[in-house]
Structure 1
C-alpha cells in the first residue's frame, strides 16, 4: 500500500492546506493529531532535529517537513490529468525511458521502487495476472503495463492545445480583504479567482478570539474566516490554496500570473497578500525558530501546555496572544521594551486579574539562549535604565513586534514605499493600470479584520470601474 502518515493539528493553517490538497486529489492518508498523541509530538521532534514543525508527512518511509502543494504534487504524482504512479526499478531500461519522457513533458509522477517495497511487487503481480512487468503505470488508478512514449502521449493528451481561461480578476491572497473583494466582484458578475499560497484566512485565521468585529461580540478567527470563505464560494468565486505566485507578466492588458504549479490569466488583479510577523534579528533567533522561538500562539501554543513561555511585545497582538496562552500555560512572561504598553486599554486592564502573567517592562531583548540540545532555554534582556543584563528562563518564546508586508515578489512590478507597502491612489489603484491593492500590504492600511473587509470593498469598486471601461 502507498503508506502516508500525516502528523499535524486542526489549528495549523498549513496542515489544513495540505489536508485539503490531498483530499481534493483523492490521496488517502492517516492523520495523526499531535495535540492528542504525545508520542506523535516526540516523533515530529525526532524527525526535525528537535523542532516541532507541522505538518510533517511521511510517505513510504520518507519524511517531508511542511511541504507546499508543488512538492506534494511532485512526490505523489499529482497533475491536471490526474494522479500518476510509476511502479518500476532503477535497473529497468523501460522504466528509465518512461521516467525520462514524463520528466521531459513536466508530468509529475510518484516513483515506487518494487525492489524497496514488497507490497509494490505484490500489487504489480496482481495487476498483471501474476506477472512482474515493469514499468506498470497507474493514472487515476487505471493501470497501463509498459506503455511506450506514443501511448503515454495519447493517454495524457500531451499534444492537446492548452486552453487558458481568462478571469475578470485574480485576487492574490485569501485573507479578509481578498475574500471581501471576491464577494463584491462576484455580485457584480465578474469571474473571480483567489490564489492563496497557504490556507484561506490569513493572519485572522491564526487569531484565537476576535472581539471587535461588528456583529460578533466574540468569535474565533477560524470561524469568522470560514464564514467569509463559504460566502465567497456561494457567490461563485473560485479558490485555489497552496498557489504561491512567482511572477506576473502584463501582456496587452492581460495579466499572466505564474505560480509554482500553473499559470493563470486575468483582465485585472487585486493584490491582497497581507503581512507576516516581524523578527527581532538578534543572536539565536534564526537558529531557534521552531526549536522554542515562535510567531503564532494559536499555531504553536498547544506545545506548551502546563509549561512556561515568554511573550515579546507590547501591542494588541502581544497582549491578546499572551492572555490566550495564559489559559493553558503554567506561566506567561511578557517582555516589553517600553515603560508602558502600546496596546488598547481593553487588553491592558485585563492583565492584573490574570495570576499567571508576569510583566517585564522597559527591557530590550538582546539574545535567545539555547541549551546543550540546541533548544531555547532563556531570553537575555537588558534593562534600558541601568544597562544590566539578565536571563529570563522559559520553555518557549513568542514574538509579536509588528508586521511586514508580503510584497517582495512585486518589487519590480508596482511602486512600493520605503517600508515595502504598496502605494495606491483613489479606489485602491496601484501604479499599474488594472492592478489594485487591499489589506495589510497596502500603504496606510489598518491591521484589523474589520478594516481589511473595508479595504476589499474599496478595491472591488476600483476594479468594477476599470472592468466596465
Structure 2
C-alpha cells in the first residue's frame, strides 16, 4: 500500500496544521523534513516549478501543494461518517454509479484505481476471496463489495437530518483576539467554537520573538499562542483549524456560518480573522512569491541560512524580522522607503551593533530581478531624492510593508471602512446585532498581541451583554 509522502518542516505552520489533521483522522504518512534532507528540497522545487512551497504531499503518485483541510478531506475520503476509500476503475459502470451517488450526496471518498496500483488490485482480491470485484468500498475499514445505492444510503445515513449544534458564540480566527474572547466567553459559562482558516495563533504565531507582552520579557510567538489555546481548551472551547468561513447569514436570530467544511450555527459571532501581509505590486512579484519572495521570516527564513537576503520595510515587523534573519543569514539588506524608520526605538537602537545588517534609506522598490533561468536574483530600487537607480542582488527577499484586513468574506454584509477594516462601536459591536469584531481586522486596532487580547476581552463583554 502506498504511504503518503509528506514534504515539510517542523517550523512550518501549514505543515503543523496538515500533520495535525492527518493524525486526528489516524491517517499514516511519511514525514520528510526538507531542512534535513536536501534532496527533499530539490524534490519540492521540482514539483512546484522552482518554488519551495511546503507542505507538499504525494498521495497515490499525485502531488498536492499546501492542501487545506477541505482538500485533504476530499482526496482522502474524510467525512463525519468516517473515512471512505473506493477501489475501482474508470471503465467500470458500477464504479461510475457509486462515484456519482457519493458525489451527488456530498460524500468525500478516495478513489484508488486498481489498474494503476498493483497493491490495490491485490487488496481487492484478498478482500473478495481471490476475486477482483469492483467497486470494493471501505467505510471505516469495513469492506463492502459492489454495494448498491440503497446500501450506501443506509450505511452512510444519507438523507437523514443531521442534528445541528447551535453554539452560543462562533469566533472566526484563532489569533490572540479570538483565543482571548473564547477564554472569557467560556468563563461566563457560554459555549464557543473557534474556526481558524490556517493555524492557531494568527500572525503572532509567525513571530520568532515577542519582547513586549506583559509578563514575558522574551517569548516566542508560537509558545505564547500555544499557551492561550491550551487555556481556551481548558475552559471548554472547541477549536477547528483549516476551516475557511465563506459567508454569514442571519435567520430567525440564529447565524448560519457557511464554510469549506460545512455549515455551523450560532447565536453570536466574533470576527477576529486578522490580517495578511501587503504586497508591493511591482513587476515580477507575483511569479516569484514562494520562489525568492516571502512574507514570513519564521516560516521561510530557514531556507536562507548562510545566504544573503533583502528585507523591505521600515516598521516594527521589518526590523524585528530582519534582526532575527541576521542571526543565521550571511547578510541582511534592509530597504526602507522613508528617510527614517517607523519602528520602535528598541529595534532601531539594535541595528548598529549587528554587523551583517546593511540599511538603504529613501529607496523606492521598482521591480524584482530574475536571472536568465527565471529565478530570483535581486531588487531594482530608485533613490527618492537623487533619482539614481541601482540593483541589489541577493538570494531572496522578505516583504514587511503593512497589513490588509481579512474581511472579503463579510464585504457587503458587515460595515467596513474604505480600507476594508470592520467599523465598530461600544463593545466591538458591528452594524449587525449579535456580531462583534476584535483584533487586526477591526478599524482602529493596534497590531500588537497585548492590544489584541484586550480587544478579545471587549468583544466577550459584548457577547455577554447580548444574552442579558
TM-score band w.r.t. shorter chain: over 0.9
**Equivalence for 2:271:** 271
Question: Corresponding residue for 1:322?
Answer: 322
C-alpha distance in 1, partners of 2:2/2:138?
Answer: 13
Provide the TM-score with structure 2 as the length reference: 0.99
Residue matched to 1:188: 188
| CA deviations over 1:199-225 (Å, ceiling 9, x no partner) | 110000000000001111100000000
1:420 is aligned to: 420
Aligned to 1:392: 392
Aligned to 1:286: 286
Q: Which residue is 2:167 aligned to? A: 167
Kindly indicate whether the alpha-carbon contact (under 8 Å) linking 1:268 and 1:467 is maintained by their aligned counterparts in 2: no
Q: C-alpha distance in 2, partners of 1:321/1:12?
A: 16
Which residue of structure 2 aligns with residue 462 of structure 1? 462
The superposition leaves residues 404-437 of structure 1 with CA deviations (integer Å, 9 ceiling, x where unpaired) of 1101111111100111110000000001000000
| Aligned counterparts, 1:238-257, within 5 A | 238-257=238-257
Instruction: Tell me which residue corresponds to 1:197.
Output: 197
CA deviation map 1:221-266 (0-9, x unaligned): 0000000010111100011100001111110110000001110000
Give the aligned CA root-mean-square deviation in angstroms: 0.7
Corresponding residue number in structure 1 for 2:66: 66
C-alpha deviation, 1:132, in angstroms? 1.0
Shift of 1:3: 2.2
Matched, 1:46 2:46: yes
Match of 2:295 in 1: 295
Which residue in 1 is equivalent to 2:36? 36
The equivalent of 1:219 in structure 2 is 219
Which ranges of structure 2 fall in alignment gaps of 5 or more residues? Answer: none
Q: C-alpha distance in 1, partners of 2:246/2:410?
A: 9
* Aligned equivalent of 2:405: 405
Q: What's 1:8 paired with?
A: 8
Instruction: Indicate whether 1:117 and 2:117 are aligned.
Output: yes
The C-alpha deviation readout for 1:372-413, integer Å capped at 9, x for no partner, is 222110100000111010000000000001111101111111
1:307 is matched with: 307
CA distance in 2, matches of 1:102, 1:333: 54
For residue 112 of structure 1, give the secondary structure of its aligned residue in structure 2. Answer: strand
| Cα distance in 2 for residues equivalent to 1:104 and 1:212 | 52
The range that moved more, 390-399 or 123-132, is 123-132
Give per-residue Cα distances to partners, 1:275-302, cap 9 Å, x unaligned.
0001111111111111101100000000
Question: What is the alpha-carbon distance in structure 1 between the residues aligned to residue 302 and residue 289 of structure 2?
Answer: 16
Q: Secondary structure at the match of 2:441?
A: coil
| Cα deviations by residue, 1:37-83 (Å, 9 ceiling, x for unpaired) | 11111100010000000110100110000111111111111111011
Q: Given that residues 87 and 111 in structure 1 are in contact (C-alpha distance below 8 angstroms), is that contact kept between their aligned partners in structure 2?
A: yes
Q: Which residue of 1 aligns with 2:434?
A: 434
User: How big is the shift at 1:159?
Assistant: 2.8
- Per-residue CA distance 1:335-387 (angstroms, 9 max, x = gap): 01111111111001111111110111111111001112221101000001110
**1:91 positional shift:** 1.4
Contact kept, 8 Å, 1:311 with 1:318, in 2: the verdict is yes
For 1:168, what is the secondary structure of its paired residue?
Answer: strand
Aligned residue number for residue 373 of structure 1: 373
User: Taking structure 1 as the reference length, what is the TM-score of the superposition?
Assistant: 0.99
Deviation at 1:324, TM superposition (A): 0.4
Residue 127 of structure 1 and its aligned partner are, at CA, apart by: 1.1
Partner of 1:132: 132
The DSSP-based 3-state class of the residue aligned with 1:380 is strand
1:22 equivalent to 2:22? Answer: yes
Report how many residues are paired.
468
**Distance between the aligned counterparts of 2:270 and 2:374, measured in 1?**
43
How far residue 26 of structure 1 moved from its aligned partner, in angstroms, is 1.3
- Distance, in Å, in 1 between the alignment partners of 2:286 and 2:146 is 49
